[in-house]
Amino acid sequence: MLPSYHRTKNSKFEPAVQSLQALKKGMIIFMNIVETNNLKKYYGKDPNMTKALDGVSLSISKGSFTAIVGTSGSGKTTLLNMLGGLDTPTEGTVIIGEKQIHSMNDEQLTIFRRRNIGFVFQNYNLVPILNSYENIMLPSDLDGDTVDKSYLEKIVQLLGLREKLYNMPNQLSGGQQQRVAIARALVGKPAILLADEPTGNLDSKSSANVMEILKQANLSFGQTIVMITHNELLAQMVDTIIRIEDGRIAESR
């Protein structure tokens, strides 16, 4: 059994029912959970202006698994930061659910991020003085919410972490640390999970394992996932690929 925990959370954007299905004239209707409109991020001034993003408009369906691919400097990480509310656009909007996130003040945005966006980073970003279980529960702990124990149980089982819950980060392999980071991102049932090069520090075997876990999280829990990667093989495992070049969408399929 998992350790008892006294927080549960009812997120506004419940991803358990994914890719909203409704029979209407024999077709499935998909609801967009993320939209951007003419998103721009410029640095400096002419003639030395850098256009990290230059008019990006996209939509991401609830319950989908999307990869944003591109070479270094293409703007893909800047786009992820915009989607996660970690950076402010020069122009344009980001809407998650029904919320235009960059119209919020800093406190509102911090709370919104914690409750609705899960992050998985290349370097894991685990707190070294907390064990695996404490790292997983940290966002809910900070938010003062209760956790859905049955959902947590399913996550721990899916990620194979039951025997590692009381290990400290320095007692885990890179792949195991990334699994803890994924569990931490999933446990709050976020509207969207953003993964920035989640296999970048892993060997090929661990990379394949992490990708399989993300895919299973998408399929089993209906979790909407947006992943940044430069790895074309990994990108082939997702539903939709958005290719970024010079701050613009070059291809979406």
In a domain, 31, yes or no: no
pLDDT tens-digit readout, 217-253: 999 999 999 999 988 888 899 999 999 999 999 999 8
Please state the domain count of the chain.
1
pLDDT at 10: 44
247: in domain: yes
* 24-28, 48-52, 144-148: the lowest-pLDDT one: 24-28
CATH number, domain containing residue 128? 3.40.50.300
Domain that holds residue 131: 63-85+117-252
Q: Does 200 or 6 have the greater pLDDT score? A: 200
Contact (CB, 8 A) for 242 and 249: yes
pLDDT at residue 79 in the model: 96
Q: Answer whether residue 8 is part of any domain.
A: no
Asked if residue 49 belongs to a domain, the reply is no
Query: Is position 176 within any domain?
Result: yes
Alpha-carbon gap, residue 89 to 100, rounded angstroms: 12
- pLDDT of 42 strictly over 90: yes
Domain membership flag for residue 110:
no
Kindly indicate the confidence band of residue 120, based on its pLDDT and cuts at 50, 70 and 90.
very high
CA distance 89 to 83: 10
Query: Residue 23: pLDDT band by 50, 70, 90 thresholds?
Result: very low
Q: Is residue 18 part of a domain?
A: no
Domain contains 107: no
